[in-house]
Amino acid sequence: MNNDIANQIKSSLENYEVPYDASAWDKMSQRLDAKPSGGNGFLSNPKFWVVTSIAVISASMALYKMTDTANKPLVVSNKSKIEQVIESEQNEIEAKNNSLKNETMLSEKSLSIQKNKEESSISSVNQFSPLQSSTTSETNFNSLKVSPNNKGNEKYYRALIFPKTNKSYCLGEKIEISNPNNVDVFLTNAFGKQIKIDAQESVLIPLKQEGQYTWNNGEKSAFEVKEKPTVNFSLPSDIIYENGIPTITLTSQLNVKSQKWMFNQRVVSTSEDVKISIFNKEQYSVTLQVVGHNGCENVTTKTFYPESSFNYNLKAPTGFEPTSSNPKRNTFLPLSLLERDTPFRMLIIDPKDGSVIFETTDKHNPWDGTNQKTDQLVPEGSEYIWKVILMNPEKYEKNEYKGMITRK
Protein backbone atom coordinates (compact mmCIF):
# COMPACT_ATOMS: atom_id res chain seq x y z
CA MET A 1 0.00 0.00 0.00
CA ASN A 2 1.18 3.40 -0.85
CA ASN A 3 2.64 5.13 2.22
CA ASP A 4 1.19 8.53 1.22
CA ILE A 5 -2.36 7.22 1.22
CA ALA A 6 -1.76 5.55 4.59
CA ASN A 7 -0.43 8.73 6.09
CA GLN A 8 -3.45 10.71 4.85
CA ILE A 9 -5.85 8.22 6.41
CA LYS A 10 -3.88 8.27 9.65
CA SER A 11 -3.93 12.06 9.70
CA SER A 12 -7.68 12.09 9.10
CA LEU A 13 -8.25 9.83 11.98
CA GLU A 14 -6.18 12.01 14.32
CA ASN A 15 -8.56 14.95 13.67
CA TYR A 16 -11.60 13.08 15.05
CA GLU A 17 -12.55 12.12 18.51
CA VAL A 18 -12.84 8.37 17.65
CA PRO A 19 -10.24 6.53 19.76
CA TYR A 20 -7.24 5.55 17.71
CA ASP A 21 -5.66 2.09 18.25
CA ALA A 22 -2.13 1.87 16.80
CA SER A 23 -1.88 -1.95 16.85
CA ALA A 24 -5.13 -2.29 14.91
CA TRP A 25 -3.86 0.05 12.31
CA ASP A 26 -0.61 -1.91 11.90
CA LYS A 27 -2.58 -5.15 11.35
CA MET A 28 -4.70 -3.52 8.71
CA SER A 29 -1.63 -2.09 7.01
CA GLN A 30 -0.06 -5.56 6.79
CA ARG A 31 -3.20 -6.94 5.12
CA LEU A 32 -3.25 -4.19 2.57
CA ASP A 33 0.41 -4.71 1.73
CA ALA A 34 0.07 -8.51 1.35
CA LYS A 35 -0.23 -9.90 -2.17
CA PRO A 36 -3.41 -11.81 -2.99
CA SER A 37 -3.09 -15.56 -3.41
CA GLY A 38 -6.00 -15.87 -5.76
CA GLY A 39 -9.75 -15.39 -5.97
CA ASN A 40 -11.78 -12.66 -7.57
CA GLY A 41 -9.88 -10.01 -9.37
CA PHE A 42 -11.60 -6.96 -7.77
CA LEU A 43 -10.78 -8.29 -4.33
CA SER A 44 -7.15 -8.33 -5.15
CA ASN A 45 -7.25 -4.77 -6.44
CA PRO A 46 -5.65 -2.34 -4.00
CA LYS A 47 -8.02 0.49 -4.99
CA PHE A 48 -10.99 -1.63 -3.94
CA TRP A 49 -9.62 -1.99 -0.46
CA VAL A 50 -8.75 1.69 -0.17
CA VAL A 51 -12.26 2.75 -1.11
CA THR A 52 -13.75 0.14 1.17
CA SER A 53 -11.57 1.29 4.11
CA ILE A 54 -12.55 4.91 3.65
CA ALA A 55 -16.24 3.96 3.55
CA VAL A 56 -15.95 1.86 6.69
CA ILE A 57 -14.12 4.62 8.54
CA SER A 58 -16.70 7.21 7.49
CA ALA A 59 -19.53 5.04 8.65
CA SER A 60 -17.80 4.44 11.97
CA MET A 61 -17.31 8.16 12.46
CA ALA A 62 -20.97 8.92 11.71
CA LEU A 63 -22.11 6.25 14.13
CA TYR A 64 -19.77 7.59 16.86
CA LYS A 65 -21.12 11.08 16.45
CA MET A 66 -24.71 9.89 16.73
CA THR A 67 -23.86 7.90 19.86
CA ASP A 68 -21.91 10.80 21.43
CA THR A 69 -24.72 13.26 20.73
CA ALA A 70 -27.26 10.94 22.29
CA ASN A 71 -25.18 10.73 25.47
CA LYS A 72 -24.89 14.51 25.88
CA PRO A 73 -27.60 16.46 27.91
CA LEU A 74 -30.31 18.22 25.91
CA VAL A 75 -29.70 21.99 25.48
CA VAL A 76 -32.72 24.03 24.44
CA SER A 77 -31.50 27.05 22.52
CA ASN A 78 -34.93 28.66 22.14
CA LYS A 79 -36.86 29.92 25.18
CA SER A 80 -40.35 28.76 25.95
CA LYS A 81 -43.29 31.00 25.18
CA ILE A 82 -43.90 31.75 28.89
CA GLU A 83 -40.31 32.80 29.34
CA GLN A 84 -40.56 34.95 26.24
CA VAL A 85 -43.72 36.64 27.56
CA ILE A 86 -42.14 37.29 30.95
CA GLU A 87 -39.00 38.66 29.33
CA SER A 88 -41.12 40.87 27.07
CA GLU A 89 -43.04 42.29 30.05
CA GLN A 90 -39.80 42.89 31.97
CA ASN A 91 -38.30 44.67 28.98
CA GLU A 92 -41.42 46.82 28.69
CA ILE A 93 -41.30 47.75 32.43
CA GLU A 94 -37.60 48.54 32.19
CA ALA A 95 -38.23 50.73 29.15
CA LYS A 96 -40.95 52.65 31.05
CA ASN A 97 -38.63 53.12 34.06
CA ASN A 98 -35.87 54.41 31.80
CA SER A 99 -38.34 56.78 30.20
CA LEU A 100 -39.48 58.12 33.62
CA LYS A 101 -35.87 58.47 34.75
CA ASN A 102 -35.01 60.44 31.61
CA GLU A 103 -38.05 62.68 32.14
CA THR A 104 -37.04 63.28 35.79
CA MET A 105 -33.48 64.12 34.77
CA LEU A 106 -34.75 66.53 32.14
CA SER A 107 -37.12 68.15 34.66
CA GLU A 108 -34.34 68.54 37.26
CA LYS A 109 -32.03 69.95 34.63
CA SER A 110 -34.73 72.42 33.59
CA LEU A 111 -35.28 73.48 37.22
CA SER A 112 -31.53 73.87 37.71
CA ILE A 113 -31.28 76.05 34.61
CA GLN A 114 -34.22 78.16 35.82
CA LYS A 115 -32.68 78.51 39.30
CA ASN A 116 -29.36 79.56 37.79
CA LYS A 117 -31.17 82.16 35.71
CA GLU A 118 -32.95 83.51 38.81
CA GLU A 119 -29.72 83.60 40.83
CA SER A 120 -27.98 85.30 37.96
CA SER A 121 -30.80 87.86 37.83
CA ILE A 122 -30.57 88.47 41.60
CA SER A 123 -26.80 88.74 41.40
CA SER A 124 -27.07 91.35 38.67
CA VAL A 125 -29.52 93.35 40.81
CA ASN A 126 -27.37 93.18 43.91
CA GLN A 127 -24.08 93.69 42.14
CA PHE A 128 -22.68 95.58 45.13
CA SER A 129 -22.29 93.84 48.49
CA PRO A 130 -21.85 95.75 51.79
CA LEU A 131 -18.29 96.83 52.46
CA GLN A 132 -16.41 95.18 55.26
CA SER A 133 -15.29 97.95 57.57
CA SER A 134 -11.82 97.98 59.05
CA THR A 135 -13.18 98.96 62.47
CA THR A 136 -14.45 96.45 64.99
CA SER A 137 -17.82 98.10 65.66
CA GLU A 138 -19.56 99.01 62.41
CA THR A 139 -23.00 98.24 61.05
CA ASN A 140 -23.67 97.44 57.39
CA PHE A 141 -27.38 97.74 56.61
CA ASN A 142 -29.01 95.83 53.72
CA SER A 143 -28.36 96.98 50.17
CA LEU A 144 -31.07 99.21 48.77
CA LYS A 145 -32.37 99.42 45.23
CA VAL A 146 -33.27 103.02 44.43
CA SER A 147 -34.25 104.96 41.32
CA PRO A 148 -32.57 108.37 41.35
CA ASN A 149 -34.19 111.06 39.25
CA ASN A 150 -31.70 110.87 36.42
CA LYS A 151 -33.61 109.70 33.39
CA GLY A 152 -35.08 106.82 35.37
CA ASN A 153 -31.89 104.76 35.28
CA GLU A 154 -31.77 102.33 38.19
CA LYS A 155 -28.72 102.48 40.44
CA TYR A 156 -27.77 100.02 43.15
CA TYR A 157 -26.00 101.20 46.26
CA ARG A 158 -23.93 99.70 48.99
CA ALA A 159 -25.28 100.41 52.43
CA LEU A 160 -23.94 103.33 54.42
CA ILE A 161 -21.49 102.48 57.18
CA PHE A 162 -22.27 103.53 60.75
CA PRO A 163 -20.05 103.37 63.85
CA LYS A 164 -22.34 101.29 66.10
CA THR A 165 -23.72 97.79 66.03
CA ASN A 166 -27.27 98.94 66.78
CA LYS A 167 -29.67 101.20 64.89
CA SER A 168 -30.36 103.73 67.63
CA TYR A 169 -28.50 106.76 68.85
CA CYS A 170 -29.18 109.49 71.35
CA LEU A 171 -29.83 113.15 70.85
CA GLY A 172 -26.68 115.23 70.98
CA GLU A 173 -24.32 112.50 69.85
CA LYS A 174 -21.99 112.87 66.91
CA ILE A 175 -21.57 109.96 64.52
CA GLU A 176 -19.35 109.44 61.51
CA ILE A 177 -21.13 108.04 58.46
CA SER A 178 -19.23 106.69 55.45
CA ASN A 179 -20.53 106.50 51.88
CA PRO A 180 -18.79 103.62 50.05
CA ASN A 181 -20.53 104.32 46.73
CA ASN A 182 -19.25 106.11 43.66
CA VAL A 183 -22.25 108.47 43.74
CA ASP A 184 -23.48 110.99 46.31
CA VAL A 185 -26.25 110.00 48.74
CA PHE A 186 -28.50 112.06 51.02
CA LEU A 187 -29.34 111.48 54.67
CA THR A 188 -32.69 112.93 55.77
CA ASN A 189 -33.69 113.66 59.38
CA ALA A 190 -37.17 113.49 60.89
CA PHE A 191 -37.89 117.09 59.89
CA GLY A 192 -36.98 116.59 56.23
CA LYS A 193 -33.59 118.26 56.33
CA GLN A 194 -31.12 116.57 54.00
CA ILE A 195 -27.43 116.06 54.60
CA LYS A 196 -25.30 115.30 51.57
CA ILE A 197 -22.62 112.63 51.82
CA ASP A 198 -20.23 112.77 48.88
CA ALA A 199 -19.14 109.65 47.05
CA GLN A 200 -16.38 107.72 48.77
CA GLU A 201 -16.39 110.21 51.65
CA SER A 202 -17.20 110.28 55.37
CA VAL A 203 -18.97 112.99 57.31
CA LEU A 204 -19.28 113.71 61.04
CA ILE A 205 -22.92 114.49 61.78
CA PRO A 206 -24.25 115.96 65.07
CA LEU A 207 -27.64 114.46 65.89
CA LYS A 208 -29.71 117.52 66.78
CA GLN A 209 -33.21 116.16 66.07
CA GLU A 210 -34.78 113.05 67.48
CA GLY A 211 -36.78 110.60 65.38
CA GLN A 212 -36.13 108.42 62.35
CA TYR A 213 -33.34 109.18 59.90
CA THR A 214 -33.56 107.86 56.34
CA TRP A 215 -31.42 108.01 53.21
CA ASN A 216 -32.02 108.31 49.47
CA ASN A 217 -35.37 110.13 49.55
CA GLY A 218 -36.70 108.17 52.50
CA GLU A 219 -36.62 104.80 50.78
CA LYS A 220 -34.43 103.21 53.43
CA SER A 221 -34.46 103.60 57.22
CA ALA A 222 -30.99 104.41 58.52
CA PHE A 223 -31.29 104.77 62.30
CA GLU A 224 -33.34 106.31 65.10
CA VAL A 225 -32.34 109.17 67.36
CA LYS A 226 -33.85 108.94 70.85
CA GLU A 227 -34.43 111.69 73.37
CA LYS A 228 -31.98 112.10 76.23
CA PRO A 229 -33.29 111.93 79.80
CA THR A 230 -33.50 115.08 81.86
CA VAL A 231 -30.73 115.53 84.41
CA ASN A 232 -30.46 118.32 86.97
CA PHE A 233 -29.69 119.03 90.61
CA SER A 234 -29.22 122.05 92.86
CA LEU A 235 -26.16 123.02 94.85
CA PRO A 236 -26.56 123.92 98.56
CA SER A 237 -26.01 127.44 99.70
CA ASP A 238 -23.89 126.57 102.74
CA ILE A 239 -21.93 123.85 104.46
CA ILE A 240 -23.41 121.84 107.30
CA TYR A 241 -21.30 120.10 109.93
CA GLU A 242 -22.41 116.57 110.60
CA ASN A 243 -20.54 114.83 113.43
CA GLY A 244 -17.81 117.41 113.14
CA ILE A 245 -17.35 116.92 109.37
CA PRO A 246 -18.22 119.70 106.88
CA THR A 247 -20.84 118.30 104.50
CA ILE A 248 -23.01 119.29 101.52
CA THR A 249 -26.10 117.28 100.58
CA LEU A 250 -27.18 116.78 96.94
CA THR A 251 -30.54 115.39 95.84
CA SER A 252 -31.95 114.32 92.47
CA GLN A 253 -35.60 113.50 91.87
CA LEU A 254 -35.49 112.06 88.36
CA ASN A 255 -37.44 109.32 86.63
CA VAL A 256 -34.45 107.46 85.24
CA LYS A 257 -33.20 103.91 85.05
CA SER A 258 -29.96 104.57 86.93
CA GLN A 259 -27.76 107.43 88.10
CA LYS A 260 -24.23 108.02 89.28
CA TRP A 261 -22.71 110.85 91.32
CA MET A 262 -19.11 111.85 90.70
CA PHE A 263 -17.09 114.15 92.93
CA ASN A 264 -13.87 115.51 91.45
CA GLN A 265 -14.16 112.84 88.73
CA ARG A 266 -14.50 110.05 91.30
CA VAL A 267 -17.69 108.04 91.77
CA VAL A 268 -19.08 108.59 95.27
CA SER A 269 -22.67 107.29 95.09
CA THR A 270 -25.33 105.65 92.91
CA SER A 271 -28.32 106.72 95.05
CA GLU A 272 -30.74 109.58 94.58
CA ASP A 273 -29.22 111.47 97.50
CA VAL A 274 -25.57 111.93 98.26
CA LYS A 275 -23.56 113.63 100.98
CA ILE A 276 -20.16 114.98 100.09
CA SER A 277 -17.55 116.05 102.65
CA ILE A 278 -15.75 119.32 102.06
CA PHE A 279 -12.40 119.60 103.84
CA ASN A 280 -10.54 122.23 101.87
CA LYS A 281 -11.28 125.70 100.61
CA GLU A 282 -11.11 125.00 96.89
CA GLN A 283 -13.35 124.56 93.86
CA TYR A 284 -15.10 121.20 93.65
CA SER A 285 -16.60 119.51 90.59
CA VAL A 286 -19.88 117.64 91.06
CA THR A 287 -21.22 115.48 88.20
CA LEU A 288 -24.50 113.59 87.88
CA GLN A 289 -24.70 110.98 85.11
CA VAL A 290 -28.03 109.24 84.40
CA VAL A 291 -29.36 106.54 82.06
CA GLY A 292 -32.94 106.88 80.86
CA HIS A 293 -35.42 104.06 80.39
CA ASN A 294 -34.80 104.21 76.61
CA GLY A 295 -31.10 103.51 77.15
CA CYS A 296 -29.88 107.02 76.40
CA GLU A 297 -27.47 108.74 78.75
CA ASN A 298 -27.23 112.30 79.91
CA VAL A 299 -24.84 114.09 82.20
CA THR A 300 -24.44 117.46 83.84
CA THR A 301 -21.59 118.95 85.86
CA LYS A 302 -21.64 121.81 88.33
CA THR A 303 -18.93 123.41 90.42
CA PHE A 304 -19.08 124.19 94.11
CA TYR A 305 -16.90 126.68 95.95
CA PRO A 306 -17.09 127.06 99.76
CA GLU A 307 -17.83 130.39 101.34
CA SER A 308 -14.93 132.74 101.78
CA SER A 309 -15.09 132.35 105.55
CA PHE A 310 -14.77 128.60 105.34
CA ASN A 311 -11.61 127.23 106.89
CA TYR A 312 -11.94 123.72 108.24
CA ASN A 313 -9.00 123.05 110.49
CA LEU A 314 -10.73 120.65 112.82
CA LYS A 315 -12.59 123.73 114.01
CA ALA A 316 -9.67 124.56 116.31
CA PRO A 317 -9.78 127.85 118.28
CA THR A 318 -6.81 130.22 118.07
CA GLY A 319 -6.45 130.78 121.83
CA PHE A 320 -7.53 129.68 125.33
CA GLU A 321 -7.48 131.01 128.89
CA PRO A 322 -6.33 128.40 131.47
CA THR A 323 -7.42 130.52 134.45
CA SER A 324 -11.00 131.01 133.17
CA SER A 325 -13.90 129.37 134.97
CA ASN A 326 -15.58 128.64 131.64
CA PRO A 327 -14.80 124.98 130.73
CA LYS A 328 -15.12 125.84 127.00
CA ARG A 329 -12.31 128.43 127.34
CA ASN A 330 -9.89 127.10 129.90
CA THR A 331 -8.65 124.06 127.86
CA PHE A 332 -7.60 123.50 124.28
CA LEU A 333 -8.70 120.75 121.90
CA PRO A 334 -9.93 121.12 118.30
CA LEU A 335 -13.74 121.04 118.46
CA SER A 336 -14.11 118.46 115.68
CA LEU A 337 -12.21 115.96 117.77
CA LEU A 338 -14.87 116.32 120.43
CA GLU A 339 -17.62 115.62 117.88
CA ARG A 340 -15.91 113.01 115.75
CA ASP A 341 -15.46 109.46 116.86
CA THR A 342 -12.00 108.92 115.45
CA PRO A 343 -8.66 107.97 117.01
CA PHE A 344 -6.03 110.72 117.03
CA ARG A 345 -2.82 111.96 118.59
CA MET A 346 -2.37 115.64 119.53
CA LEU A 347 1.00 117.29 120.24
CA ILE A 348 1.78 120.74 121.68
CA ILE A 349 5.20 121.92 120.49
CA ASP A 350 7.36 124.78 121.76
CA PRO A 351 8.41 126.68 118.63
CA LYS A 352 11.59 127.93 120.33
CA ASP A 353 13.30 124.55 120.48
CA GLY A 354 10.76 122.14 118.88
CA SER A 355 10.26 120.20 122.05
CA VAL A 356 6.93 118.56 122.87
CA ILE A 357 5.50 119.99 126.05
CA PHE A 358 2.15 118.15 125.96
CA GLU A 359 0.68 115.03 124.27
CA THR A 360 -2.75 113.32 124.39
CA THR A 361 -4.82 110.68 122.56
CA ASP A 362 -7.97 111.16 124.63
CA LYS A 363 -10.55 113.80 123.71
CA HIS A 364 -11.52 113.91 127.37
CA ASN A 365 -7.98 114.99 128.27
CA PRO A 366 -7.45 118.35 126.52
CA TRP A 367 -4.44 120.65 127.15
CA ASP A 368 -4.91 122.87 130.17
CA GLY A 369 -1.77 125.00 129.51
CA THR A 370 0.63 122.98 131.67
CA ASN A 371 4.11 122.17 130.47
CA GLN A 372 4.45 118.46 131.23
CA LYS A 373 8.26 118.80 131.52
CA THR A 374 8.14 121.50 134.25
CA ASP A 375 4.61 120.90 135.51
CA GLN A 376 4.12 124.69 135.29
CA LEU A 377 1.63 126.80 133.30
CA VAL A 378 3.14 128.25 130.21
CA PRO A 379 3.66 132.03 130.31
CA GLU A 380 0.69 134.21 129.42
CA GLY A 381 0.74 135.45 125.82
CA SER A 382 3.09 132.72 124.63
CA GLU A 383 2.34 130.89 121.34
CA TYR A 384 2.66 127.22 120.65
CA ILE A 385 2.26 124.86 117.72
CA TRP A 386 -0.44 122.24 117.87
CA LYS A 387 -0.45 119.19 115.61
CA VAL A 388 -3.12 116.49 115.23
CA ILE A 389 -2.55 113.19 113.45
CA LEU A 390 -5.72 111.25 112.48
CA MET A 391 -5.41 107.50 112.55
CA ASN A 392 -8.50 106.88 110.33
CA PRO A 393 -9.21 109.98 108.25
CA GLU A 394 -12.32 110.23 106.11
CA LYS A 395 -12.18 109.48 102.40
CA TYR A 396 -10.32 112.21 100.52
CA GLU A 397 -9.31 113.80 103.86
CA LYS A 398 -5.75 114.47 104.82
CA ASN A 399 -4.50 112.74 107.95
CA GLU A 400 -2.63 115.67 109.54
CA TYR A 401 -3.77 119.08 110.76
CA LYS A 402 -1.81 121.82 112.53
CA GLY A 403 -2.03 125.43 113.68
CA MET A 404 -1.03 128.00 116.35
CA ILE A 405 -2.54 128.42 119.78
CA THR A 406 -2.01 131.43 122.13
CA ARG A 407 -2.12 131.18 125.89
CA LYS A 408 -4.22 134.06 127.17
Tell me, what CATH number does 384's domain have?
2.60.40
Neighbours of 291 (CB within 10 A): 17
Domain boundary among 166, 191, 226: 226
Q: How many CA atoms lie within 13 A of 40 on its CB side?
A: 3
Instruction: Determine the pLDDT at residue 241.
Output: 92
Average pLDDT over residues 380-394: 96
Instruction: Determine the pLDDT at residue 113.
Output: 53
Q: Is residue 355 part of a domain?
A: yes
Do 282 and 326 fall within a single domain?
Answer: no
3-state secondary structure (DSSP) of residue 117? helix
Q: Which domain holds residue 403?
A: 319-407
Neighbours of 402 (CB within 10 A): 14
Q: Is residue 287 part of a domain?
A: yes
Domain boundary among 178, 195, 226: 226
Cα dihedral sign, 311-314-315-319: negative
Question: Is pLDDT at 330 greater than 80 in this prediction?
Answer: yes
Per-residue model confidence as pLDDT tens digits over 151-183: 334 455 677 777 665 677 888 888 888 888 888
Cα dihedral sign, 357-360-363-364: negative
3-state secondary structure (DSSP) of residue 133? coil
Do 325 and 285 fall within a single domain?
Answer: no
Do 397 and 337 fall within a single domain?
Answer: yes
Do 328 and 367 fall within a single domain?
Answer: yes
Q: Is residue 112 part of a domain?
A: no
Q: Is residue 83 part of a domain?
A: no
Confidence of residue 377 (pLDDT cuts 50, 70, 90): very high
Instruction: Determine the pLDDT at residue 133.
Output: 35
Q: How many CA atoms lie within 13 A of 196 on its CB side?
A: 4
210-219: long-range contacts, CB 8 A cutoff, minimum separation 24? 210/171, 213/187, 213/188, 213/189, 214/187, 214/188, 215/144, 215/160, 215/185, 215/186, 215/187, 215/188, 216/144, 216/146, 216/148, 216/157, 216/185, 216/186, 217/146, 217/186, 217/188, 218/188, 219/144, 219/146
Per-residue model confidence as pLDDT tens digits over 18-74: 454 555 545 555 555 554 444 445 445 555 555 556 655 555 555 445 544 444 444
Per-residue model confidence as pLDDT tens digits over 59-93: 555 544 554 444 444 433 444 444 444 455 566 65
For residues 184 and 50, the model is more confident at: 184
Cβ–Cβ < 8 Å for 387, 369? no
Least confident of 80-84, 249-253, 278-282: 80-84
For residues 276 and 97, the model is more confident at: 276
Q: Is residue 216 part of a domain?
A: yes
Q: Is residue 121 part of a domain?
A: no
Q: Is residue 70 part of a domain?
A: no
Do 156 and 217 fall within a single domain?
Answer: yes
The Cα 343–Cα 87 span in angstroms is: 116
Do 219 and 248 fall within a single domain?
Answer: no
Cβ–Cβ < 8 Å for 280, 312? yes
Domain boundary among 180, 198, 226: 226
Q: Is residue 122 part of a domain?
A: no
What is the end-to-end Cα distance of the chain in Å, rounded? 185
Q: Strand ranges (DSSP E) for 36-143?
A: 139-140
The Cα 124–Cα 107 span in angstroms is: 26
Do 221 and 257 fall within a single domain?
Answer: no
Q: Structural domain tally of the chain? A: 4
* Residues in a beta bridge with 390: 344
Q: Strand ranges (DSSP E) for 240-362?
A: 240-242, 245-251, 258-263, 266-269, 273-277, 284-291, 297-304, 319-320, 344-349, 356-360
Nearest to 358, CA basis, from 390, 333, 339, 321: 333
Cβ–Cβ < 8 Å for 346, 359? yes
Instruction: Determine the pLDDT at residue 111.
Output: 52
